[in-house]
Amino acid sequence: MSSPVERNEHSERTARSGRAEPPEQNAGAARESGRGEAPRAGAEPHVRVERDARGVVTLTLNRPQAFNALSEALLAALQRELDALETDASARVVVLAGAGKAFCAGHDLREMRAQPSLGYYQRLFTQCSRMMLTLRRLPIPVIARVHGIATAAGCQLVAQCDLAVAARDARFAVSGVNLGLFCSTPAVPLSRNVPLKQAFEMLVTGDFIDAAQARERGLVNRALRSPSVRSSSTASRRPASRLPMRRRAAPSRAT
C-alpha cells in the first residue's frame, strides 16, 4: 500500500484537537511485531473465523492490543482465509470485523520502522495489495462491520468491501498527510466510494469523519448504535438465506 502512513497512534495534531486517539502500541504489541510475526504456541489466531448456519462467515482481525494493525502475519492470515473462501461453495456472505476497541488502524508502523528499506516496503505493499485485490474479487458479498477507528489502510479495507455498517461512534481517516506523507493507495478505493472533492479533502487534511458523515458521503451504508452479525448480513435488505450461493461472474474491479 502507500508509504508508512498507516500510523497506529495517529498524529499529534489530531490528538491536540481533543479527540481521543489510540495510544502508542504497548510492549506486548512491540514484541509481537517482528518481521514474519508468527503466532506463538497456544496464542490466539491473527484472524478469528466464525460461520453460522446461514452461510455467513465472519472474519475478525485479532490484534486488539495493536488496534488490529496490519502486520505481515495478519495480512498472511487474512490472505489464507480469503483464498479459501474463493472456492467455498457453502459461504454466502463474508463479514469483516475487528476485535477490541478498533476496526483497523492501518499498517503496523512499528514493524515497518524495524526494517526501513525500500525492498521491504515494496514486499509489504505487494502483500497488502494482493490481499485487497482478493477481497474485491471474492464471488460473494463482503460487508465491513466497523467500530472504533478505521484509518489509512484500515479505511481502505472499508472502502474495498461491497457494503459497510458502522457503529455510530466509529471514525474514519486517511491521515498520512499529518506525518508529511500521503495515503496514495487508500486514496483509490476511497475516491470510488466518496465524491472526489470530499475524498481529496480527507486526504489533504487528514481529518476524521464520523459514522454519520461516512454514511452521507457513501463510505458506509448504515450507522447503527451497535452493529451485529445480523445487522451486517442484512445491510443489503436481503436475508443471508436469500442471497445467491455464488456470484456467477464478479465484475472486474481493481484497487
pLDDT tens figures, 27-86: 333 333 334 455 555 689 999 999 999 999 999 999 999 999 999 999 999 999 999 999
Give the cell for residue 90.
457453502
Mean pLDDT, rounded, for 167-183: 86
Mean pLDDT, rounded, for 124-153: 96
Could you tell me if residue 141 is inside a domain? yes
Could you tell me if residue 53 is inside a domain? yes
Give the cell for residue 225.
448504535
Could you tell me if residue 19 is inside a domain? no
Sheet holding 93-98, edge to edge: 47-51, 56-61, 93-98, 142-146, 163-167, 222-224
Q: What is the pLDDT of residue 234?
A: 54
- Asked whether residue 12 carries a pLDDT value surpassing 70, the answer given is no
The rounded distance, in Å, linking the Cα atoms of 140 and 162 is 9
b or e along 94-125 (b: 16 or more beta carbons within 10 Å of the residue's beta carbon)? bbbbbbbebbbbbbbbbbbeeeeeeeebeebb
Burial of residue 196 (number of CB atoms within 10 Å: 0-12, 13-18, 19+): exposed
Give the cell for residue 142.
463482503
Q: What is the pLDDT of residue 242?
A: 56
Could you tell me if residue 57 is inside a domain? yes
Q: Which domain holds residue 150?
A: 45-227
Report helix, strand or coil for 17.
Answer: coil
Give the cell for residue 173.
481517516
Question: Does residue 106 come out as left (phi exceeding 0), alpha (psi in the -120 to 50 range) or beta?
Answer: left
Q: What is the pLDDT of residue 159?
A: 98
Q: What is the pLDDT of residue 178?
A: 77
Q: What is the pLDDT of residue 162?
A: 97
Other Cβ atoms less than 10 A from the Cβ of 25: the count is: 22
The rounded distance, in Å, linking the Cα atoms of 228 and 52 is 13
Largest distance between two CA atoms of the chain? 50
Could you tell me if residue 13 is inside a domain? no
pLDDT tens figures, 78-104: 999 999 999 999 999 999 999 999 999
Number of domains in the chain: 1
Could you tell me if residue 109 is inside a domain? yes
Could you tell me if residue 119 is inside a domain? yes
- Asked whether residue 247 carries a pLDDT value surpassing 70, the answer given is no
Give the CATH number of the domain where residue 90 resides. Answer: 3.90.226.10
Q: What is the pLDDT of residue 5?
A: 38
Could you tell me if residue 255 is inside a domain? no
Query: Is residue 160 within 8 Å of residue 135, measured between CB atoms?
Result: yes
Rg (CA), the chain: 17
- Asked whether residue 220 carries a pLDDT value surpassing 70, the answer given is yes
Q: How confident is the model at residue 237 (pLDDT cuts 50, 70, 90)?
A: very low
Give the cell for residue 130.
494482493
